Amino acid sequence: MKRMIIQGGNRLSGEVTIGGAKNSTVALIPAAILADTPVEFDTVPDILDVHNLMIILESMNVKSSFTHGFLEIDPTQIIEAELPSKAIKSLRASYYFMGALLGRFHRATLTFPGGDNIGPRPIDQHLKAFKALGASVSENNGTVHLDAPNGLHGTRIFLDMVSVGATINTILASVRAEGTTVIENAAKEPEIIDLATFLNNMGAQIRGAGTDTIRITGVDTLQSMNTHTIIADRIESGTYLAMAAAVGDGVMVHNVIPEHLESFTSKMIEMGVDLQIDSDKIYVPRVKHLKAIHVKTMPFPGFATDLQQPLTPLMSLAEGDSTVVDTIYPKRVKHIPELQKMGMKIEAHDGMIVIKHTDHLHGAEVTAGEIRAGASLTIAGLMAEGTTVINNAGNILRGYDRIVWKLNRLGAKVSIEDDSSVKI
């Protein structure tokens, strides 16, 4: 078990550069197996999810190499094989291999994916789409079997709820299907546009990504001609912006896409943070006074569910009561009892999280129940007096590119240890 050790009380200053988007990367890597040529990605975040996806690729005889943000994948010798259940269960995004394998081989067998436990996230919309494209679907003892012996055929699919995962999986399954597929009520997230850009550059015909109606005309082959640079991670960006406002003396955040962060930065500005927003960077000055705000998470372009937890420590510094209503994952509350251990005045009731002004946080031994809860605890640990030990720190490393190195460059004192004997 990995633990993150944080010596609190150090103010942060300097510059930090945001990595490629995790939520793009975990879809792009499975998408690579649809190609008939090797593919290359740049600005790939160095996170555990990438290494787990590479293990899954290896099980299919797909060679990959990852160095300094550059990932090469060669699917030209791909074979059908049983995928390693441990790696599959380590991250939820492994379910994108369902759509990718179905698109490549017209069949797939996967155990149910794992990942963060933040409440029910059913894959019924994914399976509905696969059935509409012509695949039979069966489930047995936690394993999903997909089979389309007559191939996949374009059709019109209306998603009953806006789902990023179902939208991406439908694109992956239909990009090489016969005919035209229309996805209605599609998710609009930037990561979907990034995936469509990658596939279109290989010869796919995808139109409407970023809107609620996406049209995919199937093609026979996909061939990579250029390196695909992954978009900046808007969740990592928001996390560092909140961190800089909470414990910073002036931090410049580089490689951001401000248009992807408008719902988040507008809330920070509403709180009283004087953000200086440029075309690809944002400067966060030292903050002296904050006002309480009310946050309601929504599908993009609304306030991202992944950013409600990283913003929580900053909200605890505001005068008055701030509130969060998460309409995407109402059960996303694992951070609350852990923050309470550190002295934060926070509670959840009737589907609402209430954060009261808290003057003082103290170090404690806490547990990162999932990625964004871990980000929240990391920021709180930087704010707290004394030492904070975060158990299950692997969850943080799953989603944040070289986080310890980046924090220490800003002036924090953070380390990762495997020794289970570490005590406060």
The string of DSSP codes covering 6-66 is EE--PPEEEEEE--B-HHHHHHHHHHGGG-SS-EEEES----HHHHHHHHHHHHTT-EEEE
CA-wise closest residue to 56 among 94, 106, 27 = 94
Nearest to 9 by CA among 409, 385, 388: 385
pLDDT score for 147: 97
Q: Is 121 annotated as a binding residue?
A: yes
Which is it for strands 213-217 and 205-207: parallel, antiparallel or unpaired?
antiparallel
Please report, as a single letter, which amino acid is at residue 256. Answer: V
Strands 281-284 and 387-391: unpaired
Q: Specify the pLDDT at position 114.
A: 54
398 labelled binding-site residue: no
Q: Flag whether 23 is marked binding.
A: yes
Nearest to 401 by CA among 6, 1, 12, 21: 21
Rounded to 5 degrees, φ, ψ at 225 are: -115, -20
Domain 22-229 has CATH 3.65.10.10: yes
Task: Give the Cα separation of 280 and 252 in Å (integer).
Answer: 11
Bridge partners of residue 384, in order along the sequence: none
Please indicate if the annotation marks 123 as binding a ligand.
yes
**CB 255 within 8 Å of CB 232:** yes
Which residue do the tokens 């994948």 mark? 73
Q: How far apart are CA 306 and CA 164, in angstroms?
A: 13
- The one-digit pLDDT tens for each residue of the chain (424 residues) are 899 999 999 999 999 999 999 999 999 999 999 999 999 999 999 999 999 999 999 999 999 999 999 999 999 999 998 888 777 877 777 899 999 999 999 999 988 765 444 344 578 999 999 999 999 999 888 788 999 999 999 999 999 999 999 999 999 999 999 999 999 999 999 999 999 999 999 999 999 999 999 999 999 999 999 999 999 999 999 999 999 999 999 999 999 999 999 999 999 999 999 999 999 999 999 999 999 999 999 999 999 999 999 999 999 999 999 999 999 999 899 999 999 999 999 999 989 999 999 999 999 999 999 999 999 999 999 999 999 999 999 999 999 999 999 999 999 999 999 965 444 4
Identify the helix (H) or strand (E) that includes residue 424.
none
Instruction: Give the residue extent of every domain in the chain.
Output: 3-19+232-417, 22-229
What CATH number was assigned to the domain covering residues 3-19+232-417? Answer: 3.65.10.10
Which residues are CB-neighbours of 350 under 8 A, at least 6 positions away?
none
Q: Which two tokens stand for residue 401?
A: 């590119």
Which pLDDT belongs to residue 83? 85
- The yes-or-no answer on residue 194 being catalytic is no
Q: What are φ and ψ of residue 10, in 5° steps?
A: -95, 125
Q: Name the catalytic one among 46, 49, 74, 116.
A: 116
Alpha carbons 176 and 31: distance in angstroms, whole number: 11
> Is 22 annotated among the ligand-binding residues?
yes
User: Is 124 labelled as part of a ligand binding site?
Assistant: yes
Instruction: Let me know if the fold of 3-19+232-417 is the same as that of 22-229.
Output: yes
CB atoms under 10 Å from CB of 323, counted, come to 14
125 labelled ligand-binding = yes
In the block, residue with structure tokens 């995962």: 165
Instruction: Write down the pTM of the prediction.
Output: 0.94
